[in-house]
A = this chain, B = another copy of it.
């Protein structure tokens, strides 16, 4: 950390900051400039609250030097992490595609969806059994019955299941039925849930919160990694901005940024990041062109009858076209 003193700070104030730095176990080194003095704090100062120092007399501001994440960082772990999924490795050159409906609604619906996405070339099946909904009056998901139907669809098609857990106690339950536990955007900073996921053996798909920075996403991954679970995929699913024409704003920059900062695989969710099916294929292509390792896409046998997220769900034939389009882009950027 750097501590910047105010232009008119006194040498007594500077000395007080230095002794405070030393009191908490670090070394202070000074640079006297023309207008002001800065103090460099030597040592791993990640565990302490940097802003404490801003309260000392004569201090103008503090600035972090070290990246706050370690286990998720490419600095500490330069090689890409690969996560096995249905015979593929997420993070390897081949693009993986997770697809399926927003919610499990019935046996016939999930079975039809599973067969359709498998035929189109999907790697895994998504589908929500526990649904986080803004309104208590909206459909809240089928619960464990939904998990059972997902397991049936998995058995019928061979596609592994990706589905959401919304609380720590749901983690073991979901892990019994699904290969990948999704942590949703609204729960990205639900630390009790992150810890539970970190303690499970399941793979984790961690979605970026709609209000969360890239750094915060990596810090949430750090929670899971710090508990010993290294099978974490990160998912960009759009952030909230002032633009209201689309449901969210796809932060496409996050794809190359994450690939640079971390060794974990990066998945793009063009369904939530746009909110309208018309734009899903264009943004799926863009995601792969930008370097994403995979996609997660909402597909419904009949979107006009969907109990949730109908507007952003693709019909099976549109999804099959998406897979073909994405394949060509993947090859153009040296992927498969």
Contacts and interface: CB of A to CB of B under 8 A. Distances in A.
A119 interface: no
Interface in A214-231: 214-216, 219, 222-223, 226
A282 B304 contact: no
Interface string A119-135: 00000000000001111
A56 B306 CA distance: 13
A47 B307 CA distance: 10
Contacts of A253: 243, 245-246, 249-250, 273-274, 279, 283
Interface in A168-227: 168-170, 186-187, 189-193, 209-216, 219, 222-223, 226
A186 B212 CA distance: 10
Nearest to A325: B333
Interface stretch (A37-45, A86-94, A155-163): A37-45
B328 A213 contact: no
Given A42-B33, A44-B35, A167-B167, A289 B242 contact: no
A304 B210 CA distance: 33
Contact of A256 (B52, B219, B283): B283
Given A55-B311, A282-B256, A68 B166 contact: no
Nearest to A220: B134
A248 to B, nearest CB: 8
